[in-house]
Amino acid sequence: MTKNCHNDYKMKFSVDEEYPDLSQHNNHMAKVLTKEIYGKLRGKSTPSGFTLDDVIQTGVDNPGHPFIMTVGCVAGDEESYEVFKDLLDPIISDRHGGYKPTDKHKTDLNFENLKGGDDLDPNYVLSSRVRTGRSIKGFTLPPHNSRGERRGIEKLSIEALSSLDGEFKGKYYPLNGMTDAEQEQLIADHFLFDKPVSPLLTCSGMARDWPDGRGIWHNDNKTFLVWVNEEDHLRVISMQKGGNMKEVFRRFCVGLQKIEEIFKKHNHGFMWNEHLGYILTCPSNLGTGLRGGVHVKLPKLSTHPKFEEILTRLRLQKRGTDRTRTHTIVALLILNVLKRNIFVSDGQMRLRVALKPFIQLFPLVRHLVDGKKYQLT
C-alpha cells in the first residue's frame, strides 16, 4: 500500500486521543463507527493512500439535522469499499434497508421491459428526467483526485464522448474555458452546475481546484447530458420537456450503454462488482445509482392548508433545491422502495422520485410511472 506519512504520524496518538467526538451527530457513519472499529482501521490506507479519517471527515465535520439521517462518509477510490469494509458494509446495510455483504446486485437496463410511462399528464408534468453516476476504472474518486488525474479524466471523457453519433452527437463545454455566450445559454437551459457549496461536499474535498477539469457535454438536441468531474467522474442525464418518461428512459439506457462501450474501448471501463454494482463516491448511490423524476406544476395543491399533512400521508419530502439535504425537511417518512422529494420553486412544485439504488431497476421505474395515477389537482 502507498505509505501515508501523515497517517503514520497520527499513530503516535492513542485511539482515545484520535477518536472523533460524534456525540451530537446524526448520520450513518456516526451510528456505525465505534472506538473498536476506529482502532482496527485507522492505520490502514488504500493503494492510493486514502485513509479512514479521509472516509469519515465529511461526517465528522457535519453533524447533520436531528431529523435528517445523512450518510456521513465517502469513498476515495474503488478499493475503499474493501479496505474499510468493516465500517462501510454496516453503513451500506443501514442505508439500503439491510443489504448484506453476501448480496449480489441486479440491474436491468433493457428499456423495452418498461411498460407504459409515455402519457404522463402534460397539464401537470413540465419535464421528465433520469440520471445516474459512473466512475472510471484506473482513477481515484473525486474526493481523492489530484489535479493531473482530474484533468486526465476530463481528457479521456472528451475523447470518448466526441465519438458519439446520431441522436447523441454533441459538444463539450469546459467550465473554465467556455465563452460568455455559451455560459449564458447553459444557464438558460438549466444545464450548468455550480461549485459545490454544501459542507457535505466541500468537507470531503470535492470542490478542490474548482473549476479546473470540470465541464458539461450535451447532445445537439439538449436531451442527453454528461457532467464531468462533479460529485462523480460522470453524471449521465436524460431529460426532456413533457411527460414521456418512457422515451426519456429509452434514451438514458441506450446512451449509457454506448458510453460504457466507448470507455471500454479506451481501456477504462466503469467501476463495478457483483456485490455493490456500480461504484460511486457516496455509498447512498451504489448499485444502479439511478434517480428518476418529474417536474410537476401543482397550482392548487401547493397552496392547500393541509398541504403539509398531504405530504406526510403520501410519504413525501419537502426540501431545498441545492440537491443536498441542507434545508428543513417537513415530511420525513420515506417509502422503503423509493423516496420522493418535493421541491418548492417559483410557485411550482418539482416532484423528484429518487429510486433506491439497491432495489432492482425496473420495479422502481414502473413505480414512478404508476405514480402519475395520483390526483394532481
Nearest Cα residue to 228 out of 177, 181, 265: 177
293 is in an annotated binding site: yes
Question: What are the grid coordinates assigned to 264, written together?
Answer: 471500454
371 is in an annotated binding site: no
60 is in an annotated binding site: no
319 is in an annotated binding site: no
208 is in an annotated binding site: no
Distance set, CA 74 to CA 1, 51, 296, 352 (Å): 19, 11, 32, 24
Question: What are the grid coordinates assigned to 133, written together?
Answer: 453516476
105 is in an annotated binding site: no
131 is in an annotated binding site: yes
127 is in an annotated binding site: yes
Backbone angles phi, psi at 172, to 5 degrees: -100, 140
291 is in an annotated binding site: yes
| Whole-number Å distance between alpha carbons of 257 and 249 | 12
Q: Are 263 and 248 in contact (CB under 8 A)?
A: no
250 is in an annotated binding site: no
130 is in an annotated binding site: yes
Please state at what angle helix 147-161 crosses helix 245-265, rounded to 10 degrees: 110
**Nearest-5° Cα angle at 105, 101 to 107:** 170
Q: Is 203 left (phi over 0), alpha (psi -120 to 50) or beta?
A: alpha
242 is in an annotated binding site: no
- Residue 236 pairs with which residues in a beta bridge? 132, 226
- Counting Cβ atoms within 10 Å, is residue 222 exposed (0-12), middle (13-18) or buried (19+)? middle
Q: Are 109 and 313 in contact (CB under 8 A)?
A: no
Q: Are 180 and 308 in contact (CB under 8 A)?
A: no
Nearest Cα residue to 293 out of 113, 97, 117, 92: 117
Bind-site residues for ATP: 127-131, 190, 235, 291-295
Bind-site residues: 127-131, 190, 235, 291-295
